Amino acid sequence: MIRLLAAGLVALALAGSALAADPPRQADLEAEIVCPTCKTTLDQSSSPIAARMKSYIRARIAAGDSAAQIKAQLVDQFGPAVLAEPPKRGFDLLAWLLPLAALGLGIVVVGALAWTWSRRRDTDVDPPDAELDPDLERRVDEELARYED
Amino acid sequence: MTGRARTVGQIFAIGAVALLLGLLVWKLAHNSGGVADDLAKGKHPAAPAFELSRLDPADGKVSLADLKGKPVIVNFWASWCIPCKDEAPALQKTYEKYRAQGLTVLGIDAQDFRGDAKRFAKRYGVTYPVVYDGSGSTLGKWGVTGFPETFFVDRSGRLVGERIQGGIDTERNKAAYLKGIQAALGNPQ
């Protein structure tokens, strides 16, 4: 049984490494790289430099480079703005964090407003078990007694 | 809503609007046509400074400050640009003809593969200095909107003549090109 489990784990590990070694797809990279002249992703551009970058990517994939290596080479040539998604480090990290911060702030503001409104409603309505004014209670009793008669 | 919550909400809304307005103003201020706009209005702005590596990084860097005191033709190009191929021999001829008078041609290869630019320079026999600006960091300050574009800088580092959009040796641009050379040299026209 233990041998069987071990064999399964080894098979899974091998499958994982085989998947990791898969060559990058041209279409994926074209959607992740921006044409420097037209500022759209390569798959949306037919400009001369976009065509040249597509052929460069094709050649690098054929040469066995990984997606990360190809992106690094393009950043080296054209700068970090060539990446459709900013890297998740340094100043560019702000591009990822600010929307999350804005979302969090929005949730806090909406929550605070909802809490304020619910508190106001609580204070506007008397609690059901509040004691009646003794005079009012006496009058209610008298009225009820009249109906009972 | 309590008075305090309302005040906080108003401050938050005003702050958000002010932030958006600030971003709009910043974007408008930084989205101008660079020095090319001033040149088109007849002004002679200082040529925007830069320091870029040569096509072969081992050859070091070139800055515009290094060329101060010299008239310079600054030519923005890319290897994938067809009119750039057509004008390269004419630029090389200009460099050879006016070199003795102190004029230099400086090519700025932008938004291009460095290797492609090297092959281009070799193929067209370019011997004037060429620097590499892959990210196009200089284009905004100069107001470059396409390739090729050519500017003329006089000995004091100010832009003179006209900005030439398109090939320098076309019928449309030839006269402005020759005038620009004379203006950069400081010759009366």
For B67-104, write each residue's pLDDT tens digit: 989 999 999 999 999 999 999 999 999 999 999 999 99
CA A144 to the chain's CA centroid: 63
Does A73 lie in the same domain as A37?
yes
Residue B96 token pair: 């050879």
Residue A61 sits in a domain of what CATH number? 1.10.8.640
Domain boundary among A33, A56, A85: A85
Does B47 lie in the same domain as B91?
yes
In a domain, A109, yes or no: yes
Does B54 lie in the same domain as B9?
no
| Amino acid residing at B104 | T
Mean of per-residue pLDDT scores for chain B: 93
pTM, rounded to two decimals: 0.73
Does B171 lie in the same domain as B114?
yes
Does A100 lie in the same domain as A57?
no
Beta-bridge partner residues of A33: A83
Query: Residue A72: which domain range?
Result: 20-85
Does B77 lie in the same domain as B137?
yes
Beta-bridge partner residues of B158: B46
CA distance A38 to A108: 39
- Is A79 touching B (CB cutoff 8 A)? yes
- Residue A127 banded pLDDT, cuts 50, 70, 90: low
Does B149 lie in the same domain as B80?
yes
Query: Residue B37: which domain range?
Result: 33-185
Does B59 lie in the same domain as B10?
no
Of A2-11, B6-15, B73-82, B124-133, minimum mean pLDDT range: A2-11
Does A31 lie in the same domain as A74?
yes
What is the domain count for chain B? 2
Q: Using alpha carbons only, what angle is made at residue B102 by residues B97 and B72, rounded to the nearest 5 degrees?
A: 90
Angle between helices B114-123 and B82-98 (to 10 degrees): 60
A30-79 pLDDT per residue, tens: 999 999 999 999 999 999 999 999 999 999 999 999 999 999 999 999 99
Does A66 lie in the same domain as A31?
yes
Beta-bridge partner residues of B53: B61
Residue B103 sits in a domain of what CATH number? 3.40.30.10
* Among the partner residues A36, A49, A116, nearest to B1 by beta-carbon distance: A116
Collect all residues with Cβ–Cβ distance below 8 Å to B20 and sequence separation of at least 6. Answer: none
Domain boundary among A32, A63, A85: A85
Cross-chain Cβ contact A81/B111 below 8 Å? no
Cross-chain Cβ contact B111/A56 below 8 Å? no
What is the domain count for chain A? 2
Residues of A in contact with B15 (CB under 8 A): none
CA distance B166 to B146: 8
